Chains A and B, each alone.
Chain A
Amino acid sequence: MQVKTQRNDIQPKSTKDMANTRYKLQTKNINVFYGQFQAINNISLDIAPNSVTAFIGPSGCGKSTLLRLFNRMNDYIEGFRHEGKVLIDGEDIYTQDVKLEELRKKVGMVFQKPNPFPKSIFENVAYGLKIQGIKDKNFIEERVIESLKQATLYDEVKDDLNKQALALSGGQQQRLCIARALAVKPSIILMDEPTSALDPISSDKIEDLIYELKNKYTIVVVTHNMQQAGRISDHTAFLYMGKLIEFDKTKKIFTNPEKERTQNYITGRFG
């Protein structure tokens, strides 16, 4: 088991420098346990700024767990325990003096199922600002409109921002959730299968949006959809049973992967 672990510890680029700030997100020999179960097995990877990285792999391979390490959403899970380091801009985010609230301002998240609050469109986007104690109404309104525009939703909802968010379509709800995440000005956006609950047209819109947001944000996407990973991402990480099998440029992964298992997975021979 140990030998295998070593062999699967893939580092595409030299990462001798522990606090290498060229990378936006890094994990260093990270292990994650839920009680006795090991969900992540010694993964180290580096994610460059202003890029889209896709995590692919069969269900239960640890993609979501790995993603949620970056904004510490795993902390709430019973029995969660980790070893190793997770760095954002070169700084360990699992130390005592890291404030979760501050961390999550920097690292936004979009979930699998659109999950708007049962409030108005406006209130949804303004929520992240209001919990920070911002009271300036003009500022909030500007930021809400700016975020909705960024998420390419504004034109569809501008006539009635007080409309109940749950009355929107699934695709609109998901873009609202993206706008909500953008409103607090994060530099990283984590997306956990953001289109899996949407129809193809809505998915397309989200994909276009991800492509556009790449210029300003570092985006990590978990996806079950291989074609989607191929379309939107610069780098792709293939995970299998908690291990990082291969991590490289998306083009390379999809045309000439180094590992046979990767080849089998992306050609649909298993998983």
Chain B
Amino acid sequence: MNKQRLNRNKDKLFQGMGITATVFCMIILVIFISFVLYQGLDRLSWDFIVGLPSRFAGNAGIYTAWIGTLWVMVLTTLISFPIGVGAGIYLEEYGKKSRLNTLLEINITNLAGVPSIIYGLLGLEVFVRIMKMGNSILAGASTLSLLILPIIIVSTREAIRAVPKTIKEASLALGASRWQTIRSQILPASFGGILTGVILAISRAVGETAPLIVIGALAYVPFAPTGPLDEFTVLPIQIFNWVTRPQHEFVINAAAAIIVLLAITFMLNGIAVYLRYRWQKKIRW
């Protein structure tokens, strides 16, 4: 009897701790967002979004920055999606348990924990200098691709592993080749999961600043980039640049830009959640 009571109290205690932790996180987030909205919402206008940079805070816009972010986002996706998903499929479906593959796996998992600025240094040496891409969008996107590849590979593998083995066996037993099985059974069934992972990885890349600063993305770019080899800036760098200025007006600009950046990442996360929902609804084993 006494024991039961003790257990019930422990249960309550744990529940309370859980609720406190959740609420704490929520409160911090709410404070942060409302602070940003309070500061920046007035500044947010169409002129601000399509305005070119200026040294006068009142005239400055974020056009070059978000166009840059968009470019980086698209290029990073184009580079990292096929490579990451391909590597994930290889490791999960083709790679036999050899010493080389174990080494690869450990390395990939470790890479996910390397600080992003290290990737920046790698990108500076390999893409900017050796491959002579210069301070271009391509160099930035390549660097960010490296940064998020481990995340994409790991989430691709997770998604593939979630497909029941029996489906794979059924396909092989009907005379399908490995690739036919992957293409017509495993990929369709795991695509929602793969896409979710890719989108979350991209939204992380969109928020990165450090590696892009290292490879030489500029805070001031007079015109919006028109091709992958143009110089560029991105929203986080623009924000970083503005908050380091002493004038209060620029800090308000930064708040407004943060709202735009948050909107972009929230949108990406929203798409990821939606895809996961759709996918789970469609396929139930």
Contact = CB atoms under 8 A, between A and B. Distances in A.
Interface string A93-128: 000000011111100110101011110000000011
Contacts of A177: 170
B284 A117 contact: no
Given A111-B166, A115-B164, A117-B185, A127 B174 contact: yes
B283 A102 contact: no
Interface string B224-243: 00000000000000000000
A180 B185 CA distance: 15
Contacts of B172: 73, 76, 100, 104
B278 to A, nearest CB: 13
Contact of B170 (A102, A115, A132): A115
Interface of A: 71, 73, 76, 78, 100-105, 108-109, 111, 113, 115-118, 127-128, 131-132, 166, 177, 180-181, 184
B99 to A, nearest CB: 14
A116 B189 CA distance: 13
Select the residue from B167, B176, B188, B282 with max chain A CB neighbours within 10 A.
B176
B166 A118 contact: no
B97 A131 contact: no
A220 to B, nearest CB: 14
A235 B189 CA distance: 40
B173 interface: yes
A105 B283 CA distance: 28
A105 B175 contact: yes
Contacts of B59: none
Nearest to B282: A118
Given A111-B166, A180-B174, 14 more contacts: A73-B172, A100-B177, A101-B176, A103-B175, A104-B172, A108-B174, A111-B169, A115-B164, A115-B166, A118-B167, A128-B175, A166-B283, A181-B173, A181-B174
Contacts of A181: 173-174
Contacts, number: 68
Prevailing SS type, chain B contact patch? helix
A76 B185 CA distance: 17
List the 7 closest A-B pairs by CB distance, nearest first.
A115-B166, A104-B175, A109-B173, A128-B174, A131-B176, A105-B175, A101-B175
Nearest to A124: B170
Nearest to B173: A109
Nearest to A114: B166
A113 B176 CA distance: 20
A108 B169 CA distance: 12
A115 B176 contact: no
A107 to B, nearest CB: 8
Contacts of B166: 111, 113, 115
A73 B175 contact: no
Contacts of A73: 169, 172-173
Contact of A131 (B180, B188, B282, B283): B180
A129 to B, nearest CB: 9
B171 interface: yes
Contacts of B109: none
Contacts of B285: 118, 166
B174 A131 contact: yes
Given A115-B167, A117-B167, A104 B173 contact: yes
B169 A131 contact: no
B184 interface: yes
